[in-house]
Amino acid sequence: MDGATATLYEQLGVEPNADVVTLRMAYRSKAKLHHPDTQRRSGDDSGSADAMAALNAAWTVLSDPHQRAAYDSTLIDLRHHSLSHRSTLTTTSYAPGQSGFARREAWIAGLRVQIVRLTREAVTSASWALSLKRHGMPREVYLSQLDRIVHHLIKDTSERVKTARAAGAAPLDLALASALLGLGDLAAGIRRDLAVKRAEPRDEVLADLIDKAWDNLAHGLSHEVEMALGGNPHLAKSIARR
C-alpha cells in the first residue's frame, strides 16, 4: 500500500493494537532509516523529507491517546465504507433483480471511496504548500489534521450529493463537489466554536488547511459551480480578523 493510502499504523510498520512502547521503537527505527542526514550519507535523499513528515505525523497522532482513539474510529468508518462498497458492488453485478435501494447504497459507498482519495490528495498537497509558506511550521503539523478532515467529509454523503446536484455539479464531479461541501460544513462548525472561545494555534492550522484544500479541490470545477457550493470559506482570514 502506497504512502497516500497507507494507514498510520502501516506507515510505522506496526499492528493496530500495538502499545506505545512498540510504537516508539518502530518510529525511532524508521526515523533513523529515513532521516535526511542518513539518506544524504547513502547518496540518495530523494523523498526523505516526505518520508520523515509522514513518520512524524503518524507518531504525533498515535502517541496521543485522544488523537489515536479518534483516528481508530475513523479507520472503522473507512473500513466499513470500503467493505460495503465492495460487497454491494459484487452483489449488484451478479443480481440484476436487486433493489434500487441496494444499488444506490453501492453507488454512495463508491462516492465515499472517491471522497477519501480526493481529500487525502488535496490535504497532502496543501500541507506541503503551507509548510513552505509558513516558514518554521513543519508539514507534519498540517498532516496530523488529515484524518480529522477525512472523517468529517465522508459523513452525510447522500445529502451532500443532493446539494451538489442542485448546485449544478456534473455526475462525474459529485464526489469532488461533496468533498467541497464537507469542507464548507467543517469550516462553519469551526466558526460556531470560535464564536464562544478564543482561537488556538491548532484552529489556525486547520483553517489554513481547509482554505488551501478547498482551492486544490475546486480547481477541477467551474467557477459557477464552486460559487454555488458556497465558495472558499476563507476561514483563516476570518480568524485573523478576530
Of 60-69, 121-130, 163-172, 176-185, the least confident:
60-69
CB burial of residue 200 (10 Å; 0-12, 13-18, 19+): exposed
Q: 37 in a domain, yes or no?
A: yes
Q: Which residues contact 155 (CB under 8 A, 6 or more apart)?
A: 182
Q: 1 in a domain, yes or no?
A: no
Would you say residue 61 has pLDDT above 90?
no
Q: 42 in a domain, yes or no?
A: yes
119, 93, 2, 70 alpha-carbon torsion, rounded to 10°: 50
- Compare 52 and 96 and report the one with higher pLDDT: 52
81, 19: one domain: no
112, 230: one domain: yes
* Domain with 33 in it: 12-63
Return mean pLDDT, the chain. 80
pTM for this predicted structure: 0.61
What secondary structure letter does DSSP report for 171?
A: G
Rounded to the nearest 10 degrees, the angle between the axes of helix 65-94 and helix 146-153 is 40
Would you say residue 90 has pLDDT above 70?
no
222, 235: one domain: yes
Q: 2 in a domain, yes or no?
A: no
b (16+ CB within 10 A) / e for 138-166: bbbbbbbbbbbbbbbbbeebeebbebbee
Q: 3 in a domain, yes or no?
A: no
47, 136: one domain: no
Compute the average pLDDT of residues 110-124: 87
193 vs 70: CA distance, rounded Å: 19
Q: Quote the pLDDT of residue 133.
A: 82
pLDDT tens sequence across 167-223: 999 999 999 999 999 999 999 999 998 888 888 888 888 999 999 999 999 988 999
20, 39: one domain: yes
> 48, 63, 78 — which closes off a domain?
63
> 44, 63, 82 — which closes off a domain?
63
pLDDT tens sequence across 134-181: 766 788 888 888 888 988 898 889 999 999 999 999 999 999 999 999
Q: Quote the pLDDT of residue 77.
A: 53
CA 194 distance to own-chain centroid: 22
1 vs 46: CA distance, rounded Å: 19
Compute the average pLDDT of residues 27-56: 68
Q: Quote the pLDDT of residue 39.
A: 52
Q: Quote the pLDDT of residue 78.
A: 52
Q: Which residue has the cell 503539523?
A: 141
Task: Please name which of 115, 147, 150, 144 lies closest in space to residue 205, comparing C-alpha atoms.
Answer: 144
Number of domains the chain is built from = 2
Task: Please name which of 180, 159, 191, 189 lies closest in space to residue 228, comparing C-alpha atoms.
Answer: 180
Q: 188 in a domain, yes or no?
A: yes
Q: 32 in a domain, yes or no?
A: yes
170, 186: one domain: yes
Q: 5 in a domain, yes or no?
A: no
Tell me how far CA of residue 197 lies from CA of 21, 142, 235, in angstroms: 36, 22, 15
181, 104: one domain: yes
Compute the average pLDDT of residues 115-128: 89
